[in-house]
């Protein structure tokens, strides 16, 4: 019996050392990029894809459901115990230590399986461009370029009925876009992807998410109940996370590279529409008149789609969404994204820098 406390101390010391090791390792972005993002992580991802890709539904979503049920049972049992036997301080601290240990191991597994990618150098270093501060003139230029792209791709998309794209075809085309892109950027190479329809798509409309990546099963999930013209860019964004681009602005940018490289005009339109709206909102904060001028130049078809999107969002408003958004913003801030939920918008700075260096979008 005397060995149990000693074992407990060993477990705690080992856990703390692992956390410290992760923290120290994450301080050097170049090391993370070389040894983890381009070293260990691709092997972990390949293993996960091999396990989950043959399963037609999201294993990660089932895992989350099981954890939620387990937590509810635990909460009920503990509350019931307090009601029956009263509050016992010794028992409380024992439970607290167990919860802390469990949380520590979730943190460790999260980082080893995927989370260390938040600390990598990332796509801007790989493509050798710097996202410096941009001017109103820069925003003007990028709005003009994206306006041309979104109107042209919407016109081209008339030849391809977006309503006809199934989830299977959507996910296959998103994967193909990356396989084509790796010819241009070999560092984006990945032989197989695992992307699934989220089992919580309907709930996601009220909670405010369109997709997510599960770091514990290596699966990308897409909310497929949103308007069809949004789905292609959602798919390439989530696959960017699967490739190891953890930060939201980077996933937006890598998703853009893939979607714009696709042979399918539906992918072009989906990405250019989203990016135009990001850029137009950024311009609005500095020059609302110029921003409105560009918005007014959108084609009637594009404006019609934006209205469909607005109506969809209005129909799915909920009291819980602001709380979910706030919590997610806090999570992003804790993971190297100080702007929180506005980190998504930083893709505009990346587009400006990319266009300045390469002269193309």
Which residues share a beta bridge with 196? Answer: 221
Q: What is the pLDDT of residue 204?
A: 85
Does 98 fall in a domain?
no
Do the strands 195-197 and 219-222 form a parallel or antiparallel pair, or are they unpaired?
parallel
Q: Are 360 and 144 in contact (CB under 8 A)?
A: no
User: Is residue 90 a part of any domain in this protein?
Assistant: no
- In total, the chain counts a number of residues equal to 361
Q: Which residues of 286-298 are buried (b: 16+ CB within 10 A; e: fewer)?
A: eeeebbeebbeeb
Check residue 333 and give its pLDDT.
74
Q: Is residue 45 one of the residues assigned to a domain?
A: no
Q: What is the pLDDT of residue 1?
A: 41
Could you tell me if 92 and 320 are in contact, meaning their C-beta atoms sit under 8 angstroms apart? no
Residue 287 domain boundaries = 123-358
- The pLDDT profile of the chain, 361 residues, written as one tens digit per residue, is 444 456 678 889 999 999 999 999 999 999 999 999 999 999 999 999 999 988 989 999 999 999 999 999 988 887 777 777 766 777 778 888 889 999 999 999 999 999 999 999 999 999 999 888 889 999 999 999 999 999 999 998 876 565 668 899 999 999 999 999 999 999 999 989 999 999 999 888 888 889 999 999 999 999 999 999 999 999 999 999 999 999 999 999 999 999 999 999 999 999 999 999 999 999 998 999 999 999 999 999 999 999 999 999 999 887 777 777 777 677 777 776 767 667 678 899 999 999 999 888 8
Nearest to 136 by CA among 275, 342, 284: 284
Residue 327 to residue 312: CA distance in whole angstroms: 23
**Could you give phi then psi for residue 20, rounded to 5 degrees?**
-65, -40
Measured CA to CA in angstroms, residue 101 lies from 65, 134, 293, 344 at distances of 22, 45, 55, 33
Torsions phi, psi for 287 (to 5 deg): -150, 90
Tokens representing 77?
Answer: 């049992």
Q: Is residue 77 part of a domain?
A: no
Of the candidates 12, 30, 201, the one whose C-alpha atom is nearest the C-alpha of residue 108 is 12
- The predicted structure's pLDDT at residue 83: 76
Q: Is 206 exposed, middle or buried (0-12, 13-18, 19+ CB in 10 A)?
A: middle
Q: Is residue 58 part of a domain?
A: no
Number of domains in the chain: 1
User: pTM value?
Assistant: 0.92
Write down the pLDDT at residue 240: 97
Do the domain assignments include residue 74? no
DSSP-derived 3-state class of residue 169? helix
Tokens of 308: 């469909």
Would 253 be classed as within a structural domain? Answer: yes
Question: According to the model, what pLDDT value does residue 6 have?
Answer: 62
Q: Are 258 and 242 in contact (CB under 8 A)?
A: no
Residue 139 lies in a domain: yes
């Amino acid at each position: 019996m005397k060995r149990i406390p000693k074992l407990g101390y060993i477990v705690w010391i080992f856990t703390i050392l692992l956390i410290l090791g992760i923290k120290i390792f994450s301080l050097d972005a170049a090391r993370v990029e070389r040894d983890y993002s381009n070293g260990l992580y691709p092997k972990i991802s390949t293993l996960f894809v091999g396990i989950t890709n043959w399963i037609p539904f999201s294993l990660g979503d089932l895992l989350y459901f099981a954890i939620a049920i387990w937590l509810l049972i635990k909460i009920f049992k503990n509350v019931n115990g307090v009601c029956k036997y009263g509050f016992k301080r010794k028992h409380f601290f024992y439970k607290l230590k167990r919860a802390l240990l469990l949380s520590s191991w979730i943190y460790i597994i999260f980082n080893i399986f995927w989370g260390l990618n938040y600390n990598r150098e990332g796509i801007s270093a790989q493509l050798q461009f710097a996202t410096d501060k941009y001017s109103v003139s820069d925003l003007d230029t990028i709005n003009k370029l994206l306006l041309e792209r979104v109107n042209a791709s919407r016109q081209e998309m008339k030849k391809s009925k977006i309503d006809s794209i199934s989830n299977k075809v959507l996910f296959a085309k998103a994967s193909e876009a990356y396989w084509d892109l790796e010819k241009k950027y070999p560092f984006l190479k990945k032989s197989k992807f695992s992307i699934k329809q989220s089992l919580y798509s309907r709930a996601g409309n009220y909670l405010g998410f369109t997709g997510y990546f599960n770091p514990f099963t290596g699966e990308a999930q897409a909310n497929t109940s949103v308007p069809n013209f949004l789905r292609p860019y959602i798919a390439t964004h989530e696959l960017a996370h699967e490739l190891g681009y953890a930060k939201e602005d980077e996933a937006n940018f890598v998703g853009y590279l893939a979607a714009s490289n696709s042979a399918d005009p539906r992918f072009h339109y989906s990405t250019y529409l989203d990016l135009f709206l990001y850029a137009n909102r950024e311009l609005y904060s500095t020059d609302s008149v110029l921003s409105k001028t560009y918005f007014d130049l959108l084609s009637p078809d594009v404006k019609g789609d934006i209205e469909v999107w607005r109506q969809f969002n209005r129909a799915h408003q909920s009291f819980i969404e602001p709380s979910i958004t706030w919590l997610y913003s806090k999570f992003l801030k804790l993971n190297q994204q100080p702007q929180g939920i506005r980190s998504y918008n930083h893709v505009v700075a990346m587009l400006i820098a990319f266009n300045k260096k390469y002269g193309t979008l």
